[in-house]
Amino acid sequence: MSVSTLVVLVVAAIAVVVAVRLGSTFFRYRGARVITCPENHQPAGVQVDAGHAAATALGAAPQLRLSTCSRWPEKAGCGQECLRQIEASPEDCLVRNILVSWYARKNCAMCGKPIGEIHLVEQKPALLTPERVTVEWREVAPEKLLGVLETARPVCFSCHLATTFARQHPDLAIDRSRPA
């Protein structure tokens, strides 16, 4: 093996290590999160600047900063002390993990079937509000999520789809469960 081939292999190996480190940091810190604002002790929805975290992760721990916060623009100049919560437990405050945990071992409030495995991209279960309306996750602001989960009930994707169709197109839906 020639010296130039060895140099290329070493450079390629270093590039792979760097790419894995940057990529894993980016994916670890992306996504909406729910934290408790240190100023008012209320839930707030935030997103970490995952690109910045990845870019600063090579030599040491990544430097975290927020890219969005539900309390901005009013509190945009805050010290971002909430980042300590994310540093301490980045997975526990992630909205998708909160939801997956909440749905675990639950049955649909409408058909009674187990919710089962959650698919984060397609056919996601929904939430049944006390008003008996189903809503998708994306319709709930992260800062309101914990409060909604206290009163909501789980609904499978199929029941959510059926009730949404019936609500949006009552002239096309037939409810066979009601007496004639």
Inter-helix orientation angle 142-151/95-103, to 10°? 10
d(C-alpha 145, C-alpha 67), whole Å: 19
Query: What integer is the mean pLDDT of 28-46?
Result: 93
pTM for the structure as a whole:
0.80
Which segments of the chain are extended strands (E)? 32-36, 43-48, 66-69, 126-128, 134-135, 153-155
**pLDDT (tens digit per residue) in 109-142:** 999 999 988 877 788 899 999 999 999 988 999 9
Give CA–CA dist 113/124, Å, rounded: 14
| pLDDT tens-digit series, residues 47-77 | 999 989 888 877 778 899 999 999 998 888 8
